[in-house]
C-alpha cells in the first residue's frame, strides 16, 4: 500500500463538518454549433434539434462560505450522509501562518470540508457517478492497480494530507517564496517545457524546430531540466540557436520511478514568464500558438486565465480524491491532461500561482498523489480544487490520431489530438496540438506513417451528456494504442437509431487538407517513433 503513516495525531470527536460548495469551480463556455460546409458535416458536435447541447456549470466563489474560526463545525444536510467528524489540535482548527488572509480563508475551507468514509462516499455517489458509466470511463489499469489502496485509505490519513498541503505552503513563505502570483513572479508570455535525457531532448528539438522554422513562432522558450542533465554542447548550442533557454531546477534530482513527471509545476512556477503555455516534449503545435493568450476563454472579462484540455478518462467514484477534497463524485467533467496548459500565474488575483504550488507539493509527494491522478496531470486540477479557484476547460473532447494496423486493420491511436479554444465562425474548432504521447512506445510504425486517421466521438462537446456513452482506452498491439468507442445507448431509453456515434476521417483530408504535410514535416525535423 502506498499510504504512509504520519507522526501527526488527530482526535476523533463528535462534531460534524462544514461542507464546501456543491460543485468545483469550472468555467464551461456555452457550446454553440455554427453552420458548417457540407463536407465537414461529420465534424459537428450537436444534433440538429440541439438535444445534445451541454449545460454549462460553474460556481461563483461567493458560494464557498468561510468556516468558523473555532468551535464546532456545522454539517450540511444536503450531503445525504453524515461525514466523519474531525477536530484538529484540541478541537480547534490548526493555526495557519500565512500572510494572505484570503488564502488562509480558502485553506480553512479546505481543512474543514467533510471527510467521508469510503462506504459513505460510495453511497453518496450512487446517483452522481453511476457505476455503469464510471466503470467504463475510468482508466482500467489505474482502477485495477489502485483499487485496493483507494478503498482502504482511512479518514485520518486524508486529514493528514490536507494539513500537509497547508504546512508546505507555510514553509514556502517562510523561505521567502511568493505564494500568490504578481509582477514579481513573472513578466510577459512564453513557452515552458521540461526534459533532458536523450529521448526527451530529441523530442524537444523536434518541437522547437517546427515552432521556429515552420510556424515562425517568436514566443520565448524556457526548458527546465534536472541539474547537469544536458551537457552535450551541440544540443545546448542548438537550443540557443532556436531561442530556448535551458534552466536547471536546483535541489531536484531524478528518481528511480516510472517517469520523472514531478517537475512540471515547479517549471511553470520558476519560469521568468507570468503567462505560460506549458508543452510536453512530445507535443507538436500545428501552428503558432501565440494567439491563445488573447482568446476569450482564457482572458475574457471575468475569466480565470487558466485553461486545461480534457483527458481520455473520468475520475472514478472510488478514487479517494473526492474524499480528500470533501466532495461527492461528479462525472460531468473529464480528467485533464498536462501535455499543454495555458496559465497566468497572476490570474485569479494571483491564486493561480497558489494552486500551482499545491500541484507542486502533490508532484513532490508523488507516491501518494500519482496513484490518484495516474501521473502528474490531474495534480494541477486538484490544486485548483483544494483552493476553490476557478479554471476553464477546452470545450471539445480530444480525438485520437493514429493508423490502422496492417495485420488486423484495427485502429491504433498514438496521439491525442487537442483542439483550439476559439470558436471559428462556420466550422468545428481546428486541431491545434498533436500530443504524440504513445508514439514513443512504438519502435515500429507502418510504412505509410503513424499519422493517418482521426477517430473521435461524433458529438464531441466535452460536457455533452451523450459522452456518457463514450470510452477511450489503451490496449497493447506491438506497443501501446488507444481506441475509441461510443455505445449505442447514451442513457437508458435513448436509442441511437440513425445516429453516427464514432467518426473516422483521413488526417490528410480533413479541413480541406490543411494537415496533409504534417507527417513529412514531422520526419523532416527529426520526429520518429520509439524513444521511451
CA distance 95 to 88: 10
Report the C-alpha gap between 127 and 70 in whole angstroms. Answer: 34
Cα-trace Rg, the chain? 23
Whole-structure pTM value: 0.85
* Coil/strand/helix, residue 97: coil
Cell of 323: 474524499
Q: How far apart are the C-alpha atoms of 498 and 142, rounded to whole Å?
A: 35
Among 479, 470, 491, 496, residue whose Cα is nearest residue 138? 470
Indicate the angle between helix axes 366-373 and 140-152, nearest 10 degrees.
Answer: 130
What's the CATH superfamily of 189-393? Spore Coat Polysaccharide Biosynthesis Protein SpsA; Chain A (3.90.550.10)
Could you give the 3-state DSSP secondary structure of residue 224? strand
Distance CA 316, CA 299 (A): 31
The three cell numbers locating residue 292 = 491563445
- Order across the sheet with 221-225: list the strands: 26-27, 391-393, 306-310, 336-344, 275-279, 189-194, 221-225, 244-248
Does the CA dihedral 208-397-24-319 come out positive or negative? negative
Q: Which three cell numbers stand for residue 306?
A: 487558466
Q: Residues 208, 244: contact at Cβ < 8 Å? A: yes
In angstroms, the CA 314 to CA 371 distance is 14
What does each of the 532 residues of the chain score in pLDDT, given as a tens digit? 343 333 333 333 333 333 333 345 675 544 333 222 222 222 223 333 333 333 232 332 223 333 333 322 223 333 233 333 344 544 456 889 999 999 999 999 999 999 999 999 999 999 999 999 999 999 999 999 999 999 999 999 999 999 999 999 999 999 999 999 999 999 999 999 999 889 999 999 999 999 999 999 999 999 999 998 899 999 999 999 999 999 999 877 666 555 555 799 999 999 999 999 999 999 999 999 999 999 999 999 999 999 999 999 999 999 999 999 999 999 999 999 999 999 999 999 999 999 999 999 999 999 999 999 999 999 999 999 999 999 999 999 999 999 998 888 999 999 999 999 986 655 778 999 999 999 988 877 776 789 999 999 998 988 888 899 999 999 998 889 999 999 875 455 555 556 788 999 999 999 899 999 999 999 999 998 876 6
Predicted confidence at residue 528, as pLDDT, reads 87
Give buried/exposed letters for 372-392 (b at 16+ CB in 10 A, else e).
Answer: bbbbbbbbbbbbbbbbbbbbb
Q: Where are the domains of the chain?
A: 26-174, 189-393, 399-524
Contact (CB, 8 A) for 376 and 363:
yes
234 is written with which cell numbers? 551541440
Residues 294 and 304: their CA atoms lie apart, in Å, by: 13
Helix (H, G, I), strand (E, B) or coil at 208: helix
Amino acid at each position: 500500500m502506498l499510504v504512509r503513516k504520519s507522526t501527526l495525531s488527530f482526535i476523533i470527536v463528535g462534531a460534524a463538518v462544514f461542507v464546501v460548495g456543491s460543485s468545483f469551480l469550472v468555467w464551461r463556455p456555452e457550446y454553440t454549433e455554427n453552420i458548417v460546409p457540407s463536407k465537414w458535416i461529420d465534424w459537428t458536435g450537436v444534433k440538429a434539434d440541439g438535444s445534445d447541447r451541454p449545460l454549462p456549470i460553474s460556481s461563483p466563489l461567493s458560494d464557498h462560505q468561510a468556516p468558523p474560526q473555532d468551535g464546532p463545525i456545522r454539517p450540511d444536510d444536503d450531503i445525504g450522509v453524515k461525514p466523519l467528524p474531525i477536530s484538529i489540535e484540541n478541537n480547534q482548527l490548526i493555526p495557519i501562518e500565512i500572510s494572505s488572509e484570503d488564502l488562509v480563508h480558502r485553506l480553512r475551507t479546505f481543512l474543514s470540508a467533510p471527510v467521508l468514509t469510503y462506504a459513505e462516499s460510495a453511497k453518496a455517489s450512487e446517483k452522481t457517478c453511476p457505476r455503469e458509466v464510471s466503470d467504463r470511463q475510468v482508466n482500467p489499469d489505474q482502477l485495477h492497480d489502485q483499487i485496493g489502496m483507494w478503498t482502504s485509505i482511512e479518514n485520518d490519513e486524508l486529514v493528514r494530507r490536507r494539513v500537509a498541503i497547508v504546512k508546505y505552503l507555510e514553509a514556502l513563505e517562510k523561505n521567502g517564496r511568493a505564494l500568490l502570483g504578481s509582477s514579481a513572479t513573472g513578466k510577459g508570455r512564453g513557452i515552458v517545457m521540461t526534459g533532458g535525457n536523450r529521448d526527451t531532448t530529441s523530442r524537444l528539438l523536434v518541437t522547437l524546430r517546427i515552432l521556429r522554422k515552420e510556424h515562425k513562432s517568436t514566443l520565448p522558450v524556457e526548458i527546465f531540466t534536472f541539474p547537469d542533465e544536458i551537457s552535450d554542447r551541440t544540443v545546448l548550442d542548438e537550443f540557443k540557436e532556436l531561442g530556448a533557454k535551458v534552466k536547471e531546477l536546483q535541489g531536484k534530482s531524478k528518481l528511480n520511478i516510472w517517469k520523472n513527471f514531478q517537475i512540471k509545476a515547479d517549471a511553470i512556477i520558476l519560469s521568468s514568464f507570468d503567462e505560460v503555455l506549458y508543452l510536453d516534449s512530445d507535443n507538436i503545435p500545428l501552428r503558432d500558438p501565440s494567439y491563445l493568450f488573447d482568446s476569450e476563454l482564457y482572458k475574457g472579462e471575468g475569466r480565470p486565465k487558466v485553461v486545461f484540455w480534457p483527458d481520455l478518462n473520468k475520475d472514478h467514484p472510488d478514487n479517494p480524491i473526492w474524499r480528500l477534497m470533501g466532495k461527492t463524485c461528479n462525472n460531468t467533467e473529464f480528467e485533464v491532461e498536462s501535455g499543454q496548459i495555458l496559465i497566468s500565474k497572476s490570474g485569479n488575483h494571483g491564486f493561480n500561482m497558489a494552486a500551482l504550488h499545491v500541484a507542486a507539493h502533490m508532484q513532490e509527494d508523488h507516491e501518494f498523489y500519482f496513484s490518484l491522478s495516474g501521473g502528474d496531470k490531474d495534480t494541477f486540477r486538484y490544486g485548483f480544487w483544494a483552493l476553490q479557484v476557478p479554471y476553464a476547460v477546452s470545450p471539445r473532447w480530444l480525438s485520437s490520431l493514429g493508423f490502422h494496423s496492417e495485420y488486423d486493420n484495427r485502429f491504433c491511436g498514438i496521439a491525442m489530438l487537442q483542439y483550439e479554444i476559439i470558436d471559428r465562425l462556420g466550422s468545428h474548432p481546428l486541431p491545434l496540438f498533436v500530443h504524440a504521447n504513445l508514439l514513443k512506445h512504438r519502435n515500429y510504425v507502418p510504412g505509410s506513417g503513424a499519422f493517418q486517421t482521426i477517430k473521435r466521438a461524433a458529438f464531441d462537446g466535452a460536457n455533452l451528456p451523450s459522452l456518457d456513452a463514450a470510452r477511450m482506452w489503451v490496449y497493447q498491439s506491438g506497443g501501446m494504442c488507444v481506441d475509441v468507442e461510443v455505445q449505442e445507448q447514451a442513457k437508458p431509453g435513448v436509442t441511437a437509431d440513425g445516429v453516427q456515434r464514432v467518426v473516422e476521417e483521413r488526417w490528410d483530408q480533413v479541413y480541406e487538407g490543411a494537415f496533409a504535410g504534417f507527417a513529412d514535416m514531422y520526419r523532416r525535423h527529426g520526429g520518429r517513433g520509439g524513444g521511451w
